[in-house]
Amino acid sequence: MSSTRAELGWWMWGLVAFAVVVALSLAVTAPADVTLGIAEHQAAATAARVDEIHAQWHAGGVRPLAIFAVIGDLVFIAIYGWGSWIAGRSFLPMGGILRIIGAIVAASAVVFVLTDYTETLLQLVQLLRDQGSDQSAGIAATARPVKVAAWIVTFFGVIAGWLIHRFAAPTA
């Protein structure tokens, strides 16, 4: 195995950004009368559902926090996506299974960034307009499962690559 080092710094900062975004998202549903959060907004496939969520956020006084959380999500996507891309690419020169893992992680990072930005930007537009759109909500809700799958692949792929690189027996 090569002495090449896995580049995980940006990926780890992406996990920190993820924790911040999760905390902001949870804060949106902190008031007792707010039961619909960012995840429900992302999954809302119709304008009516988006408008229902917006109404609840207005009533609970959390709309500004929801906007801030969605903008934070845009920052997270950039950091985590870039970090996953770099991490995946750093496994490529190591050869063997790490090369395969690296290629899969790097490709999944691209899919993650494209689908999560699609979902989140459409979500932000609806939120800033304070009006749902069947087309925007439908596209965002369709992108969501693909984004989640790509995130899972990058997350576990980077961990698997790091563990294999760290604990595999060195070659002569």
Q: Token digits for 94?
A: 């190591």
CA angle 28, 62, 46 (to 5 degrees): 75
Confidence tier at 6 by pLDDT (50, 70, 90): confident
Asked if 154 contacts 105 with a C-beta cutoff of 8 angstroms, the reply is yes
Q: Token digits for 86?
A: 């770099």
75 Cβ contact partners less than 8 Å away, ≥ 6 residues apart: 17
pLDDT per position as a tens digit, 53-101: 999 999 999 999 999 999 999 999 999 999 999 999 999 999 999 999 9
138: left (phi over 0), alpha (psi -120 to 50) or beta: alpha
Predicted pLDDT of residue 1: 41
pLDDT reading at 134 higher than 60: yes
